[in-house]
Structure 1
């Protein structure tokens, strides 16, 4: 999560006024920030619409019965229960987030995977 936050700060560095904040935090503006911003924005979007999907206001009513069939979703592609659909959404988001983080790391000039 720490790397995601720092990459998001790098990507936000392209916005007006963000350069000063990034400079105070020790980041220098880079040419690849413009290219990295859509990937960082997609990561944030995927957290809300995939990982935190059950907490969205339109899904709060379904929290009471995640393991039971919902008559409105009897032909849903995630299965007859909501937990199956939420799991499928989360796994699809995980795959896209891994790809986005690899692209951001590559734009930063680092290898997609480094030993810690």
Structure 2
């Protein structure tokens, strides 16, 4: 799981590297062979765009996890204005305990989400650069990016 999460986060900068470097990263991340099958310029560009898109979603997930963990642990410093009506209220100690437990307790869920994105990246690389993977990562990458953009816009416009 940790290797797939690492691959998900590392895929954004490596999406713009030459295809041989991307294949080497795939081999190193998962410690198993990966054969580059002369992808050609169309497949290489498609992989760059789709891998960067899913990589952007992975970095957004990392950002959200860090914000949630920080805000949970540092709840009294960043958001303790109306703790009487917040989760764990009416006391500050209760609100802090609930927010800290959620912020830190959800970190494994964020890790599983990152690992899933890493597996999508692996299947995408196998399909476009190795020519032997399944077809489903291509439309899934497009859907993940579209959903990530919609979620980012909604998150950035919250009050």
TM-score (norm 1): 0.54
Highest RCO, 1 vs 2 (Cα 8 Å, sep ≥ 6)? 2
Q: Which has the larger radius of gyration?
A: 2
CA contact (8 A) 1:46 1:97 kept: no
1:42-67 CA distances to partner (integer Å, 9 max, x unpaired)? Answer: 232133112333566xx5748xxxxx
Matches within 5 A, 1:33-52: 33-52=51-70
State which of 72, 83, 86 in structure 1 corresponds to 2:97. Answer: 83
Change (3 A) 1:71 1:102: closer
Structure 2: how far apart are the matches of 1:100 and 1:4? 5
Residue pairs, 1:1-116, within 5 angstroms: 1-15=2-16, 19=17, 23=21, 26-27=24-25, 31=47, 32-53=50-71, 59=75, 61=77, 72-77=82-87, 79-80=88-89, 81=94, 82-92=96-106, 94-109=108-123
Measured in 2, the distance between the counterparts of 1:41 and 1:71 equals 30
**How large is the Cα RMSD of the aligned pairs?**
3.8
Q: Which runs of 5+ in 1 are unaligned?
A: 63-69, 111-116
Unaligned stretches of 5+ in structure 2? 27-43, 127-159
More helix by share: 2
1:102 positional shift: 1.2
